[in-house]
Chains A and B, each alone.
Chain A
């Protein structure tokens, strides 16, 4: 004999089983059903009900597993379903080594994604204001015009001869950028003022262009080559040479104000367009142009 129906061992056992079965049901739903079943038994069974009466009442209710299945079918996503119930037991069988490898792979992927984002978001190299014609005869005859922040340097064209300039570029980012060579701009082949043949090379160290002398004065001390890496917050000299095969009449000019470079940043190679001062060649310094070199 028990004082209340809920104290009956059969009822206690049933409610315990029900609690276990309801582990697969969302918490609020499980709590509500348990409360309803408890109230049902309290109401249906008189205090001190005998074993047979209790067993009959519990039998009428149905098995805890059936009730839980019915509750689960009633909807709602399971919130604390045991792994076994969802067929996730394979997770517990995965070897420790596999777990470690998987975790390492995830960490590497995350690090890779972070690095990639860093590379992709790095800004381009910048023109660092230092600039001059490469050959002394061009530097001597240049005419400089400055309007606001724009500078234009014009020198006579020397048709059929090598001409060029040197500029300082700066890497303002926190990643190393490697200059691989020139890249074709929108007007392919005309990325210098004198003609399509362009030769780009970069100094291997950070150097200033000495004021008052042409870039060529550096040639004995500085080695220009490709490819060259520009570490973060450092500058390099970029030399651009071409054979002037463009023919300009008297008073006619041709120029550029952007440098197109092929640059590798981390794992990515891209074209960087670097605004710079304007380099102009002016039509013939002496009489008629040398038409033999014209294209």
Chain B
């Protein structure tokens, strides 16, 4: 398995919850979100993919968008987290905590799928 290919799939899977998490803090416009995600190392390889993702989240009812035209500022489309989005994010957080612990355990040999727990003894 190519490491980059696997990482790319993983990145793709977690990008949505990461967007929801960023919007949980406050509403953001597109470029703002892109920059925040790009700042997280390795999370975003292609800025343009954020927009189709936002549209997908919007269609799923997890985010909503609204144009804001503040004086002295250019008109921007801000994205907000909906209640459904909040619930989805909470559920993902719980799943992710278990999932990442399991994956970490397997990768670090602290957890074996057959029930054994032998740190440092790969099978």
- A residues in contact (CB < 8 Å) with B: 29, 32-33, 36-37, 39-40, 42-44, 60-62, 66-67, 70-71, 73-75
Contacts and interface: CB of A to CB of B under 8 A. Distances in A.
A67 B55 contact: no
Nearest to A57: B47
Nearest to A42: B74
A70 B77 contact: no
Contact of A67 (B34, B48, B54): B48
A33 to B, nearest CB: 6
Chain B binding surface, main DSSP class: helix
A39 B49 CA distance: 14
B92 interface: no
B49 A66 contact: yes
B56 interface: yes
9 contacts: A33-B51, A36-B30, A36-B51, A37-B48, A40-B48, A44-B31, A62-B45, A70-B48, A71-B55
Contacts of B49: 62, 66-67, 70
A44 B77 CA distance: 14
Name which of A37, A42, A71 has the most chain B CB atoms within 10 A of its CB: A71
B76 interface: yes
Contact of B47 (A39, A40, A73, A75): A40
Contact of A32 (B34, B55, B76): B55
B48 A66 contact: yes
A32 B46 CA distance: 18
B52 interface: yes
Given A40-B34, A43-B74, A62 B48 contact: yes
B69 interface: no
Given A74-B59, A75-B56, 8 more contacts: A33-B52, A40-B30, A43-B76, A60-B48, A62-B47, A62-B49, A66-B48, A74-B55
Contacts of A32: 55
B47 A70 contact: no
Contact of B55 (A29, A40, A43, A44): A29
Contacts of B45: 62
B31 A74 contact: no
Contacts of A61: 46-48
Contacts of A33: 51-52, 55
Contacts of A36: 30, 51, 54-55, 77
Contacts of A40: 30-31, 34, 47-48, 51
A44 B76 CA distance: 13
In order of increasing CB-CB distance, the 5 nearest A-B pairs are A62-B46, A61-B48, A36-B51, A62-B48, A70-B52
A141 B76 CA distance: 106
Nearest to A44: B31
Name which of A39, A66, A74, A75 has the most chain B CB atoms within 10 A of its CB: A74
Contacts of A62: 45-49
Given A36-B30, A39-B76, A44-B31, A60 B52 contact: no
B30 to A, nearest CB: 6
B56 A60 contact: no
A39 B52 contact: no
Contacts of A44: 31
Contact of B46 (A39, A60, A73, A74): A60
A119 B65 CA distance: 61
Name which of B38, B47, B48 has the most chain A CB atoms within 10 A of its CB: B48
